[in-house]
Structure 1
Amino acid sequence: MIPLVALIRKDIILFLHDKRALILTLLMPILLAAFFGYLTGGSGKQEASKIELGVVQQDQHLISQKILAGLKNDKSLLIKELSLEQAQEQVRKGKIAVALVLPAGFGEAAGAAFFNAHGKPDLPIYYDPSQSTMLAMVKGILTQHVMQSVSAEMFSGKSGMATLDQSIAQLESKAEQGAESAADSATASTDKQELKTFLTSLKKFQQHQQDQNAQTAQTTQNQSEAAKPAGLSMPFNTKDEALSAKTGVANGYNGYAHSFAGMTVQFILFLAIDAGISVLLSRKLGIWNRQLAAPIGMNTIIVARGLSCALIALLVSCVICAVAMLVFQVQILGSVLGLMGVAVCFSLMTASFGLLIAAFGKTPEAARGIAIFATLIMVMLGGAWMPSFFFPQWLQDLTIFIPTRWAVDGFDAMTWRGLGIHAAIAPMAALLGFTSLFGALALWRFGRDQTAR
């Protein structure tokens, strides 16, 4: 036991003695976590960023003007009026994600197509292929404003009256064409008469609406207070409410909580890489053989290195957590005991991962490159960089075999999700399972190499 404690104490003293490495180990995850946390909403107090949309206004029709006005008033959009060449150039260079063109004649054609499925005008949209999600959001918002503007004008606007007069005149003057059978002719005549009746009734409704608006304007003597045609609009309002296990306890979602969890996982795994590489360097320099020459067993040396790495990882986790709570207002809404359990289990998994690198690494240089690549893949798939729902479903299912996924889920559950200690059991069990697997493989490989010598 005394040699084991001495070896652990030696590793911790060496870690604390290297001031530059110590500062980088603690400072880098805090800075990156703060940056990513700010990008994902911070403490939840700042407003959501707007979608920058370029608009090329080539049509001066009243409907097109109303569409543009509606887009400008939308709280989700930031409108930039551009020429066609400017819009295309800015999308190509990635300065804006989406640009919309309201082509000449669009308003009139859209109004005419409102009661007719044929002759629908095209609405050109240019978008950055790397920002395809923006395109879907813009198209959804655009649909609302186009439908509201077109329907408002068609049901109670002057353009709608003119379109209706034109449609009724066409029905009255249109002669029957082609050689139709008597039954077909009778059916066509009935359909035209029904359509004419509908359009005539709609015209009367429009005239009634305009008369009411005029009376309201005269009464109030303020045109801005007159009843304005609203047109078709969404028949509901969404009531957004962010949910966590303790909604109402926190003052909103704190984006720093998830980012600190992700960066803690990433940089502690980097500690494991350094621990594994240090073992390879010790073997390369002969320090490993000198330790084995002393009255210390190989298993004692391996376990000591693993425990020292786990203790350092736990220390770093505690420091980063303290900074997150004191500086960035991250709250532990779940179980403190569960958070400590996840941190301890992840630290043990980290130590066993470092031993695995040392056991299977051939040279320090080659092992470092492979280990960094493997760590970055695990961190990405674990959801530390981006939410896992961006992945294909098969890849989401695959992440249950990635230890970082369990660590990030465990930290999230105990902090901003506010779940109880029961939610920490599965991540802790999974992390301990990976610890046992990596540790067993490392001990087996070390023992095999020792026997070979």
Structure 2
Amino acid sequence: MTALIALVRKDLILYINDKRALMLHLLMPVILAAFFGSLFGGGSEAKTSKIDVGLVQLDQSDSGKKIAAGLKADSALNIVELSADDAKARVRAGKLPVAVVIPDGFGEQAADALFGGQNKPQLPVYYDPSQSTVLAMVKGLLTQQVMQVTSAAVMSPKGSKTIEKQLDALRASTANNPDNAQLGDFLTSLKKFQDQRAAAEAEKEAAAKAGGKPAPAAEPVGMTMPYTTQDQALSSGPKYNGYAHSFAGMGVQFILFMGIDMGVGILLARRTGVWNRLLAAPVSLTTVLWGRAISGALIAMGLMCAMFACAMLIFKVEIGSLGGFLGIAASFSLMTAAFGLLIAAFGKTPEAARGIATFATLIMVMLGGAWVPSFVFPEWVQQATLLVPTRWAIDGFDAVTWRGLGLDGVLMPIAVQLGFAAVFGAIAGWRFLRDQK
């Protein structure tokens, strides 16, 4: 036991004195986690940024101006008015994700096509090919504004001429299409409604003039969204904090890099003869391997705790369950130490082992959801990532931070990590013992 403690103590002192390793394994993940966390929404108090949208306003009618005003008033959009050439140039250069053109006469043409469904006007939309998600959102908001303004224009007394035009067209086509008679009845009723509103507004205006007061503005009538959403972010623990996931992902990535350094260090010791001299001492190979595994796990545990301490102090990340956090951190640290031994057991040279292990680690980190959350993956990829230890580690850290789950919520991730640690460690130990014979 004294020899084991001495080996662990030696490894810890050597690692702490290695300033380069500390900077790589602690400072770099904190910086990258801060960057990715800001991309994923930052803290719970962060506000969603607006979408920059170019607007080319060619239609100067009342409807065209109201559509533009509605877009400008939308809290999700930041409207930038441009000429057609400037809008195209900015979208091509990637300076704007989307630009909308409201062509001349659009309001009148849209009103004419509202019921007839023919001769629909085209509304050009320029977009950056890499911003297809933004395009879908902008088109949805644009549809809302166009439908609301166009229907209000058609149903108001000022839309009487449009309805008369539609009725004339229907009367000419009713003989060929009897179904148009039903639409004609609807438009006739709408025409009566418009006439009644026009008469009522004229009476109000006359009464206002007689009293020396300005005429009251007519209330707009048209189709509006028949609902509003009540958005509630639900989790069983603290409010969502985008930094929590990014610190979990970057922590897992760089601690695995530390495991690679641990394995490569054994290969370097073999090359220089230090490993053989160590085995010549009155200690068994099993003791030496256990010493490396324990020191590696302690270093990994310390790094993860230090990273999340920074996350809590600087970025207000909350840990919902301290016991659950320590459990998933300890199990992941043991898996990392076993991973390092596995690299040393099968590595031929330090250079080759580092390259292959780095590639394997980056694949595991990517599939584990460290860079982007795993839920954005296709369904079959999400199922496949359950075979990767990093997926369970990151899910476990998410569970005990912003999801607020307790120890019982991470028992499965802990068990899976310990299982991988046992398998990696057993294979590495078998290979070391075989090579010693």
Using structure 2 for the length normalisation, give the TM-score.
0.93
Residue of 415, 430, 433 corresponding to 1:444: 430
1:64 is displaced (CA, Å) by 2.2
What is the distance in 1 between the residues matched to 2:182 and 2:311? Answer: 70
**Alignment of 1:338 onto 2:324:** yes
Does residue 265 of structure 1 match 2:264?
no
2:265 is the counterpart of 1:278: yes
> In the aligned structure 2, how far is the partner of 1:283 from the partner of 1:428?
33
Separation (CA, whole Å) in 2 of partners of 1:175 and 1:342: 73
Percent identical residues: 57
- Residues 229-248 of structure 1 aligned to structure 2 (within 5 Å): 229-246=220-237
Which of the numbers 338, 345, 348 marks the counterpart of 1:359?
Answer: 345
In structure 2, the CA distance between the partners of 1:6 and 1:73, relative to structure 1 (3 Å rule), is same
1:208 aligns with 2:207: no
Q: Which residue of 2 aligns with 1:11?
A: 11
User: Please, which moves more after superposition, 127-136 or 423-432?
Assistant: 127-136
**Structure-2 separation of matches of 1:429 and 1:360:** 25
**TM-aligned CA distance change 1:447 to 1:93, over 3 Å:** farther
- Counterpart code for 2:223: L
Kept after mapping to 1: 8 A contact 2:116/2:166: no
Task: Report if the CA contact (8 A) 1:403-1:430 is conserved.
Answer: yes
Matched AA of 2:193: F
Q: Is the 8 A contact 1:156 1:207 kept in 2?
A: no
- Alpha-carbon distance in structure 2 between the residues aligned to 1:24 and 1:216: 76
Q: Distance in 1 between matches of 2:47 and 2:173?
A: 60
Q: Is 1:21 the counterpart of 2:7 in the alignment? A: no
Taking a change above 3 Å as real, the CA distance of residues 15 and 221 of structure 1, as seen in their structure-2 partners, is: farther
- Would you say the 8 A contact 2:173–2:180 is kept in 1? no
In structure 2, the partner of 1:419 is: 405
**Secondary structure of the corresponding residue to residue 115 of structure 1:** helix
User: Counterpart of 2:77?
Assistant: 77
The aligned runs of 1:38-53 (5 Å cut-off) are 38-53=38-53
Partner in structure 1 of residue 284 of structure 2: 297
1:284 maps to a residue whose letter is R
1:128 matched residue in structure 2: 128
Structure 1 residues 436 and 209: alpha-carbon distance in aligned structure 2, compared to 1, 3 A threshold: farther
Q: Report if the CA contact (8 A) 1:41-1:48 is conserved.
A: yes
Does the C-alpha gap of structure 1 residues 18 and 164 become closer, same or farther in structure 2, counting only changes over 3 Å? Answer: same
Count of aligned positions: 433
> Distance between the aligned counterparts of 2:426 and 2:21, measured in 1?
30
Unaligned runs of 5+ in 2: none
User: Which letter does structure 2 place at the counterpart of 1:243?
Assistant: L
- Matched residues in 2 for 1:55 and 1:37: separation? 32
Kindly provide the amino acid, as one letter, of the partner of residue 371 in structure 2. Answer: W
- Mapped partners of 1:229, 1:429: distance in 2: 63
Amino acid in structure 1 at the alignment position of 2:59: D
Q: 1:69 to 1:7 in 2, by over 3 A?
A: same
Tell me if the contact between 1:157 and 1:229 (Cα under 8 Å) persists in the aligned partners. Answer: no
Structure 2 residue matching 1:351: 3-state secondary structure: helix
2: CA distance, partners of 1:439 / 1:83 = 66
- 1:70-149 matched pairs, under 5 angstroms: 70-149=70-149
Q: Is the 8 A contact 2:157 2:195 kept in 1?
A: no
Residue by residue, what CA displacement relative to the aligned partner does 1:389-415 show, whole Å, maximum 9, x if unpaired?
A: 221111111110111111111111111
SS at match of 1:121: coil
CA distance in 2, matches of 1:146, 1:268: 53
Partner AA of 1:139 in structure 2: K
Taking the aligned partners of 1:380 and 1:194, their CA distance within structure 2 comes to: 59
CA-to-aligned-CA distance 1:227-271 (integer Å, 9 cap, x gap) = 43152111111000000013xxx4x32222222212211111111
Q: Which residue of 2 aligns with 1:429?
A: 415
For the 8 Å contact 2:293–2:341, the answer to whether it is kept is yes
**Distance of 1:130 and 1:319 partners within structure 2:** 37
2-structure distance, mates of 1:407, 1:212: 69
1:135-174 Cα distance to aligned partner (Å, 9 max, x none): 221122122111111111111152x2221121223345x3
Deviation at 1:105, TM superposition (A): 3.0
In 1, the alpha carbon distance for the partners of 2:246 and 2:111 equals 49
Contact 1:216 1:226 in 2 (8 A): no
What amino acid sits opposite 2:136 in the alignment? Answer: A
Does residue 350 of the first structure (1) align with residue 336 of the second (2)?
Answer: yes
What is the root-mean-square deviation of aligned Cα atoms in Å?
2.2
Which range is displaced more, 271-280 or 36-45?
A: 36-45
Could you tell me which runs of 5 or more consecutive residues in structure 1 were left unpaired when the two chains were aligned: 177-184
Structure 1 residue 324 and structure 2 residue 311: aligned?
yes
Rounded Cα–Cα distance in structure 1 between residues aligned with 2:196 and 2:366: 62
Residue of structure 2 in register with 1:165 after alignment = 164
CA, structure 1 residues 241+195, in 2 after alignment: closer, same or farther (shift >3 Å)? closer
Deviates more, 1:311-320 or 1:374-383: 374-383
8 Å Cα contact 1:213-1:227 kept in structure 2: yes
Distance of 2:64 and 2:370 partners within structure 1: 44
